[in-house]
Amino acid sequence: MKKKDVEPAYQKDVFQKLTIEDLDLKGKRVFIRADFNVPLDANLIITDDRRIRSTLPTINYAIDEGAIVILSSHLGRPKGKVDPRLSLAPVAKRLQRLLNKEVTFAPDCVGSQVESIVSKMKSGDVLLLENLRFHPGEEKNDEEFARSLALLADVFVNDAFGAAHRAHASTVGITKFLPSAAGFLLKKEIEYLKGAIDNPIKPFVAILGGAKVSGKIGVLEHLVGRVDKVLVGGGMAFTFIKAMGYEIGDSLVEDAMLETAERIRKQLTEQGIKFYLPVDCVIAQNTEPGAVIKIVPTLEIPNGWRALDIGPASVKLFTVALQDSKTILWNGPMGMFEIDFFSRGTFDIARAVADAYALTIVGGGDTDLAVHRAGVSDAISFISTGGGASLQLLEGKELPGIAALTDKPE
């Protein structure tokens, strides 16, 4: 299956910041903040390079325009200390293969040694700096650290949507010292995610899952008056179900969110928004291999058992609810899909979303992984690279890394 060639449901003026195409890059040192926070196995081999691939259009454009390309990123959480296991060296090797050209790897991201390397670079050369978070100044948005990063370049391009919700030195601080613009990925993320919420082609259906209601309350509140249907699965569904007065066995619940969940549900339904919860579920007493698994109606979960996936009737209900949709936004899996026994609901919904004749937008790291494991990623219109960033955008919040970029002229 090929990714749907569907235009995003947004107004073309939704993005009001300078982009890389607005800059004169020829001969300029261009500092590109990317999100190369990729998973590594025990042998430090990259197991999924989608985040690297997603920034290639921006990198290749800068190379083609004759820029001197300086790439930067964080990897993991080294907490301001050097951790060889979180070095970006494996990323440099993968980049070299993907770009089909030499990528120099710097032993640090600031300092005289790095400045010396940059001074010898020519147009079209590519340099990857070592992990930004090896320095405490990165996460603290320290002005001197940001100034040291800015000394390496003439212009700044942010293409790290996954880090745009963080006010760090390489996303916000550096913009005080350099003309700043968005890369192609960052611009595309805003256009799809913000466009889906602000100006959707209707009917607009939101599918929300994952473990906790608390992480999605802001999104649900922002959807009021915008969305036509809300489908809720995953662990968060059982907080809503318990709030309605039903027993849920030992299923995941946020007791502190019961009143909030019921308030949101009533608010949505009073607005005429159709609100769907699972009608059946896959239950077990534990997740150990060989555990007994049953499919029961949602309202008949025995004590000592917990729901770990939506059942086949829920899949059918949700699939029918998607059939007339024109825009689908999906954030959060339907169950514990990482375990085969509890993956069917999530994968079936992934296939239903992929088959829908609609603009389909998937946001959140777990959901991204789910559509790839279901084998339907190429049939989704847009898959966001940001977890926390996409949630904040869907809540209607301003992202610091985007707000800091230079505004387009009136």
Considering just the CA atoms, what is the radius of gyration of the chain in Å?
A: 23
Helix (H, G, I), strand (E, B) or coil at 340: helix
CA distance 47 to 58: 22
Q: For the sheet containing 155-158, what is the strand order?
A: 104-105, 126-128, 68-72, 29-33, 155-158, 180-182
35 C-beta neighbours (distance < 10 Å), count: 24
First to last CA, the chain: 42
Q: Which of 147, 365, 373, 396 is catalytic?
A: 365
- Write down the catalytic residue from 212, 316, 351, 373: 212
Provide the 10 A C-beta neighbour count for residue 341.
15
Distances (CA, A) of 303 to 247, 248, 300, 312, 403: 9, 8, 9, 22, 49
Cα–Cα distance measured from residue 58 to residue 294, given in angstroms and rounded to the nearest whole number: 49
| DSSP state letter for 128 | E
Say which of 51, 133, 166, 187 is annotated catalytic: 51
Interacting residues of 289 by C-beta distance below 8 A, sequence separation 6+: none
The yes-or-no answer on residue 408 being catalytic is no
Residues 361, 4: contact at Cβ < 8 Å? no
Give yes or no for a contact between 197 and 222, defined as CB atoms under 8 angstroms apart. Answer: yes
Instruction: Give the Å distances, CA to CA, from 5 to 117, 185, 206, 381, 382.
Output: 42, 17, 20, 7, 10
Q: Where are the beta strands (DSSP E) in 183-273?
A: 204-208, 229-232
Count other C-beta atoms under 10 Å from residue 398's C-beta. 10
Place of tokens 């992202």: 399
Single out the residue of 358, 355, 307 nearest to residue 334, CA to CA: 307
Task: Give the residues across from 360 on adjacent strands.
Answer: 328
Catalytic (active site) residue 51 = yes
Q: What whole-number distance in Å separates Cα of residue 370 and Cα of residue 1?
A: 16
Phi, psi of 283 (to 5 degrees): -120, 155
Catalytic positions, please?
Answer: 51, 212, 365, 388
